A and B are shown apart, each in its own frame.
Chain A
Amino acid sequence: MKNNNSLSVLTNGILKENPVLVLVLGTCPTLATTTTVSGAIGMGLAALVVLLCSNIFISLLRKIIPETMRIPCYIVIIAGFVTVVKMLVQAFFPGLYEVLGVYLDLITVNCIILGRAEMFANKNTVVVSALDGIGMGLGFTLALGAMATVREVFGAASFAGIAIPLLEEYKIEFLTKAPGGLLVYGLLIALVYALTKGCAPVKKSFSCSGCANASTCRMGECANREKEGNN
């Protein structure tokens, strides 16, 4: 990781290793909060702040946190920052707090955040981890924003709550429902795959090394089982 170019760490999360559209993480909040652009951007930014803070904190403590206690430590740190963000949003953005509802609390168990803590922050320096947090957070926000734009504009004939009279008669309300969300999600994944073909670490992401839980499960046994299964 020492050879990592800082800029590529920052940009990886945006498209090439986009957490939502390439790594397929954080699907639950993605589907739930993308009915409106403002809700999606709000969720993305809230997750970005938590991701940035937790990555920095975990990277700072990576040599102190005991190997066997790291998951409880990560959870405490992430939950702590989520609660901080929640209190700040509730105090300064009450409208957004109402829109995000329970999904704000659920950032705690967002696998993007725990995944980056486990895969990246505990192995890298503070600055690089912070850049990873910003990159992944931006990638999450952009993916949510893109998906919400399609769903709100074509499903509800509005953008960020501003009505688009031209589309009022042609809106496809199906897009604002859960099945419509899945459809848009699938189409965006296909689009990103087409754009990043050959670049995105698709195969790696689904192997042990790309798994957030790889170091907690017995990596070698897992690989052996896979091999035996193929035989």
Chain B
Amino acid sequence: MKNSIKNLSVFVCICTVMTLLLALTNTVTAPIILENQNASANKALLEVMPDGTGFEAVALEDYTLPATVTEAYRETSGLGYVVKLATAGYGPDMVIMCGVDSSGVVTGAVCLSSNETLSKEKTYGENFINKDAAAIDAVDTIGGATKTTAAYKNAVKDALNTAIILGGGSVDVRTEEQILADNLAAALPQGEGEFEKTFLVEELENIDAVYYAENESGYVFVIGEQYVGALADGTVLTEDVENADAITDAAALIQSTVIEEIDITAYPDLTKTVVSAKKTETGNYIVETKGAGYGIKGGNEYHPASGEYIIVRVSMTADGKIIDCLTVSEAETDGLGDACASESFYGQFVGKTEENYTEIDAISGATMTTDGYKQAIERAFAAVKTLSGGEA
């Protein structure tokens, strides 16, 4: 017992001496380390705001800022703000730092880290220097990296909005999905906020998109920036609509469309490429076709040899103009080829004909998926030609 106490006392004494030594060293080094860390942090901030003299962190919780903003710094002499944002391009965790001066012009933008497939985002920020909010969309895109470019541009826009908000102004920081949902609910309150996009099978002049209320109370027609609500019986709810009769007619047309199933087995040439085909009484076609994609999910490969195809639904006029397009199913690689299931990709085919359907932005890092999708569209054109009695 006596020995144990003696041993413990020696150990405690040694610990005490070492603690004092550490405390002494810390007293000397702590201010220098803090100074180094501030200089290091300022170096990154100065990269995007070279004229800055000092920066202080902004308490984000005091403001309603875009969701991508993770840090913000105010330049102490009032030059502007530096905003750090975390967004996602093709890969997750693309971290961007953007400087914005007090007049709303970008002073610099750098990508601090990313998991993108091309790595061109590292130097892409240089394109935004001296640009204001109105000029962001016109900045050249990164070739073959549509999604990365869009994510970068949105991040810079978020930084510009953040600078306005921190400067005392106000900006709409809702996401595109939130804005769409709010606009739909405002145009047709009877829809109770539950809407789905209508797959159009008829050409509707001047109408960009149609959403139907899931409770079948009516439709919302998107005409440019305007959202027009109409009840199921065609009554237009939105005031000051230029051509209310056209909306009523469109609602009636959508509801009255009669669709006839076509027996594909009667067309031996189509059975391998077409899943199903229908025809409207107005003479348009709705075909679902197969495209040979390639995907890896959970270590398994998915491609035609394993029985997996990209299935695409296309509605088309008899003379070969795409009315609407939708991805029915796919087994493409997560984070790459599966982008073919997003409207930003398949929406590009709307309005296209056989002559120009290939003029779309490819999915970056997923050439086989893009080619497979184009193959499905090509097969849709061929199918409609066959079904309408033209040459396949």
User: B5-13, B247-255, B332-340, B365-373: which one contacts chain A?
Assistant: B5-13
Q: Give A65 to B13 CA distance when docked, in angstroms.
A: 10
Chain A residues within 8 Å of B33, by CB: 87, 90-91
A61 is contacted by which of B14, B26, B29, B36 (Cβ under 8 Å)? B14
Is there an interface contact between B7 and A69, defined as CB atoms closer than 8 Å? yes
A165 at the interface (CB under 8 A from B): no
Chain B residues within 8 Å of A72, by CB: 11
Is there an interface contact between B14 and A66, defined as CB atoms closer than 8 Å? no
A88 at the interface (CB under 8 A from B): yes
Chain A residues within 8 Å of B15, by CB: 76
Chain B residues within 8 Å of A61, by CB: 14
Known: A61-B14, A69-B7. A94 touches B40 (CB 8 A): yes
Known: A73-B14, A83-B22. A66 touches B7 (CB 8 A): yes
Q: Which residue of A lies closest to B35 (CB)?
A: A91
Question: Shortest Cβ distance from B160 into chain A, in angstroms?
Answer: 33
B10 is contacted by which of A64, A79, A92, A94 (Cβ under 8 Å)? A64
Is there an interface contact between B7 and A84, defined as CB atoms closer than 8 Å? no
Chain B residues within 8 Å of A80, by CB: 18-19, 21-22
Interface size class of A (residues with CB under 8 A): 20 to 34
Q: Give A90 to B32 CA distance when docked, in angstroms.
A: 9
Is there an interface contact between A94 and B29, defined as CB atoms closer than 8 Å? no
Is there an interface contact between B11 and A69, defined as CB atoms closer than 8 Å? yes
Question: Shortest Cβ distance from A81 into chain B, in angstroms?
Answer: 8
B123 at the interface (CB under 8 A from A): no
Q: Give A66 to B29 CA distance when docked, in angstroms.
A: 33
Is there an interface contact between B14 and A94, defined as CB atoms closer than 8 Å? no
Is there an interface contact between B10 and A88, defined as CB atoms closer than 8 Å? no
Is there an interface contact between B14 and A76, defined as CB atoms closer than 8 Å? yes
Q: Give A73 to B10 CA distance when docked, in angstroms.
A: 9
Q: Which residue of B lies closest to A68 (CB)?
A: B7
Q: Give A88 to B8 CA distance when docked, in angstroms.
A: 30
Q: Give A122 to B10 CA distance when docked, in angstroms.
A: 15
Is there an interface contact between B18 and A76, defined as CB atoms closer than 8 Å? yes
Question: Shortest Cβ distance from A84 into chain B, in angstroms?
Answer: 5
Chain B residues within 8 Å of A68, by CB: 7
A182 at the interface (CB under 8 A from B): no
Known: A68-B7, A69-B7, A94-B36. A87 touches B14 (CB 8 A): no
B25 at the interface (CB under 8 A from A): yes
Chain A residues within 8 Å of B7, by CB: 66, 68-69
A88 is contacted by which of B14, B18, B25 (Cβ under 8 Å)? B25
Known: A80-B22, A94-B40. A87 touches B29 (CB 8 A): yes
Q: Tell me which residues from 39 to 77 in chain A have a Cβ below 8 Å from any Cβ of chain B.
A: 61, 64-66, 68-69, 72-73, 76-77
Q: Give A66 to B10 CA distance when docked, in angstroms.
A: 8
Question: Shortest Cβ distance from B44 into chain A, in angstroms?
Answer: 14
Is there an interface contact between A92 and B32, defined as CB atoms closer than 8 Å? yes
Question: Shortest Cβ distance from A100 into chain B, in angstroms?
Answer: 15
Q: Which residue of A lies closest to B29 (CB)?
A: A91
Chain A residues within 8 Å of B3, by CB: 66
Q: Give A91 to B29 CA distance when docked, in angstroms.
A: 6
Listed in ascending order, the chain A residues whose CB lies under 8 Å from chain B are 61, 64-66, 68-69, 72-73, 76-77, 79-80, 83-84, 87-88, 90-92, 94
A-B contact pairs, 8 of them (CB 8 A): A69-B11, A73-B14, A77-B14, A77-B18, A84-B25, A87-B26, A90-B29, A91-B32
| Sample of 7 further A-B pairs with CB below 8 A, known A73-B14, A87-B25 | A69-B8, A69-B10, A69-B11, A72-B11, A73-B10, A90-B33, A90-B36
